[in-house]
Amino acid sequence: MLGLEPYEWRSNMKYFWYDHKAKGKQQPELVGFRDLATKFNASASNLPQDSMQNTCYFVHYEDGKKTQWENIARVDRKCFVVFVSSKPSSLQSAQDGVFCITDDLSEVANKLTNDKITLFTTTCSSGHPDWSVFQTKFFPEHLVAAYLLQIAKCKEVNVEMNDSFWSKASREFSQVLGEEKQSVELTLDNGQRELEKLFAELAKAKGKG
């Protein structure tokens, strides 16, 4: 990675695609960098939203000498990408649940059948900045749009939206809170207080922006 732009050092590596759902049945597939992004995005878009909350690990490859991993609390999608270094020196032994970087495909294949090894990695909006090419824009966009419209309304800029929009925003609102907890019908007229409360709660829960 040192001295190289992100795309450049990515392109110097070999990439293998591995579908989590086919674990044990499928060999990692050697793909080009751009294919990897395409496959990731295609797979992510086919997954239901309820698969978004999974703990996973993220592998960070740095300068061919060491790897480190970081726990990302919430990963958007259950897609796993295997990153394989082109440098033999980067072979690292892995602890349980920690990904191993290797340049040997058979080594990867062996690990796929080993239940103690979990394969990663995926990226998401909270992921590593060098892998931002894989970022998925996963956030409740009707809800965010509703909030922005409320802000504009406070400044006397009114933008009319149809019922379908407000219905979707209301559904996302409930999903964010947990459906059993609260159901709210948002409109441009009544939504301001509810949205402000919600966003204040979210900001508080995150601790920081």
User: Among 24, 48, 129, 178, which residue sits at the site for other proteins (rule: CB under 8 A)?
Assistant: 129
Range in contact with other proteins (rule: CB under 8 A) among 15-23, 37-45, 93-101, 141-149 = 141-149
Binding of residue 77 to other proteins (CB under 8 A):
no
15 φ, ψ (degrees, to nearest 5):
-125, 140
| Distance (Å, whole) CA 18 – CA 177 | 33
| Among 25, 93, 115, 155, interactor with other proteins by CB under 8 A | 155
Torsion on CA atoms 39, 105, 60, 130, rounded to nearest 10: -40
Residue number, 48 or 209, with CB nearest to other proteins: 209
First CA to last CA distance, the chain: 29
Shortest spacing between CB 166 and other proteins, in angstroms? 10
Q: What is the DSSP letter of 118?
A: P
- The token duo for 182 is 């609260």
Other CB atoms closer than 10 Å to residue 153's CB: what's the count?
15
Binding positions for other proteins, rule: CB under 8 A: 1-3, 6, 62, 125-126, 128-130, 132, 135, 137-142, 144-145, 147-149, 151-152, 154-155, 157, 159, 161, 165, 168, 199, 202-203, 206, 208-209
